[in-house]
Structure 1
Amino acid sequence: RLVPRHSHQASYHVAKRLKALGVDVLLNTRVERVDDEFVTIDKRKLPTETVLWAAGVRNNPFYLKHPQYFEVLSDGRVSVNPYLEAYRDIYVIGDNIDVKDAGRARSALDMAVYIADHLVRNVASRPLYPYRPSASLICIPIGAHWAYAECLGIYVTGKLGSYAHRRAVMRSYLQIMPRAMADMAVASQTTKTRNL
């Protein structure tokens, strides 16, 4: 299914939106060959000008090359303890780890903030607390003025989802830049998606 790390509702609505935009969604299908004019899928040769291949994410091979420090699970993600350590004093965050909601920009930012606080607490000999993923908003924008947005099992789609996405993007930008720059960044992003 599409977006397999997200809810079944997300998969359903994303597939429905893509199909409404005229996108052929092919799941569980083997791509045998891609060239300038054709893509060969399950022995069928289809004429094409553009191929968008979203086959998933693969972790950096660095982790596999260092098994003394990293336990790599069957899905390629790194096993970490409740403090996001793969090995004593070696922390791994983001898409790379086997933690709920890993693989999302918002989660990576939350993990980075957690690690910074954790390191300060450790140096100051203050109590350490395990990482707890926050219930953050999941947004999947598709085309102009449409997005799927979900938090705590409640979802919205369409223009309301797009509004939630813009707010989430603004919140993220405001963590790393002044308001005026964040406004320009969001406006630039909105302009680009309107041209799709």
Structure 2
Amino acid sequence: MSRFFRLMVLAAMDMACGLPLSLYFLISDPLYRDLEKWPSWAVVHEYIHDVGVATHEDLTANYQLWVALGFTRWCIPGCAYLFFMFFGLSAEAARQYKRIFWRCMAPFGLRPPPPKPKAPTVSWTKRLISRNTNTVQDEITVPSPSYSFQSRIVPSNDVDDKKDIEAGTYPAVGPETNDLEYGAGYGVTKEQRNT
């Protein structure tokens, strides 16, 4: 789960829990107490250094006071636990806890165990591609080009080409002969051209 998503869930929980409680105290405060005229800061700070003592019987006698004290007592640790659940138990936080733990254990000669090789994870697209490779692609073979210097027979206009070939008077063209420059291919050999 990403950090952004956890932060959004925490903000949503704050709104879902905080708004009803704020409305409860906003509405119930005037119902159970009389609103007084604002005197001054001197009156507000008059008893700032005094510590009030209340017994359990005093607290339970007024239900509204009991709820307000219980809420303020448990709200801060509850929010701290909630925040830790969202951000302190994540995978990246666990990696940091392990790193700090092994750094603290290093002076005592303790080292972390070697990491285990992870199994390769394959995304769904690679699995889809590998599933379709057993089709036509395996059956198609492309021949590699072969280069050979075999002699070939150049066509001529003579009617008796087959007889000339058998008699050896028809020129063969290839890398071993240079007959092209002497008019080979027209049924004429070197000797016939020179005459």
TM-score tier by shorter-chain length is: under 0.3
Structure with a larger share of its residues in strand = 1
TM-score, structure 2 as length reference: 0.20
Give the TM-score, by structure 1 length: 0.20
Greater helix percent: which structure? 2
